[in-house]
Amino acid sequence: MRHHGRMHAQPGVGLRPDAPWGYLPASSFRSRRSALSDAQRQTWERLWPQLGRQADTGEAPGETPDTPLDTRAWFGRSAPLVLEIGCGSGTSTLAMAQAEPDIDVIAVEIYRRGLAQLLCAIDAEQVGNIRLIRGNGVDVLKDLIAPQSLTGVRVFFPDPWPKARHHKRRLLQTGTVSLIADRLLPGGVLHAATDHPGYAEHIGAVGDAEPRLVRADPDSESLPISISRPTTKYETKAQEAGSHVCEFVWKRI
């Protein structure tokens, strides 16, 4: 299923009894064609060693698969850090990073073509505050992100898995939200969006149930990151078809 044109990691179900957050989705993905154009392949070969890494290998400078990312070494500076899970082709990622040059952004996506599109855009626009990880967002949170190290987490239009028997595959489950809360700094923000009514109800319930998160009111309080995101052409089409977008903003207390 292609949701708003974004290509997302599709989590299955896994039991993690050793983790303090309990149940976490396991890695399970739908197949996608990922052939790159010649220009995309050339850009990938030139920039991926510097700006990208696989979630399950130690490609980032000074890293191994079993240690959290050294983001200061990777970005070459110390700055507030945002993780975007399921960046698709990176339209929102690029625009939001350009609007906040003092914030570093790690974009996570399983599909190579989407990452290649974002990499080409980064190159064309000469944006210096984005890095890319190819892999499952839950695995990245669990294995590569240190506790209380993120200023923000963004999850825009994850696959809603609309059939009831597939609801357990949804990314934003109780365990995942607990893990996100663990990785956020105090005051850090979880920003999620969906246009699926059933998933919106689910997201609201699991977010509100997490004791370390409280709803934030962007109109009345200052937040450490912007929650102003661009409207993509896919979202515009969905809205024209009658879909309503629900936005959620929580802050870690």
Active site residues: 159
The encoded tokens of residue 219 equal 């109109």
DSSP letter assigned to residue 88: T
What strand order describes the sheet that includes 246-252?
Answer: 52-54, 130-134, 104-109, 81-85, 150-156, 184-194, 246-252, 213-215
Length of the chain: 253
Is 104:150 a contact under the CB 8 Å cutoff? no
Cα–Cα distance measured from residue 184 to residue 223, given in angstroms and rounded to the nearest whole number: 13
Cα–Cα distance measured from residue 147 to residue 63, given in angstroms and rounded to the nearest whole number: 17
The encoded tokens of residue 119 equal 């990499």
DSSP letter assigned to residue 232: P
The encoded tokens of residue 205 equal 């319930």
Cα–Cα distance measured from residue 199 to residue 226, given in angstroms and rounded to the nearest whole number: 23
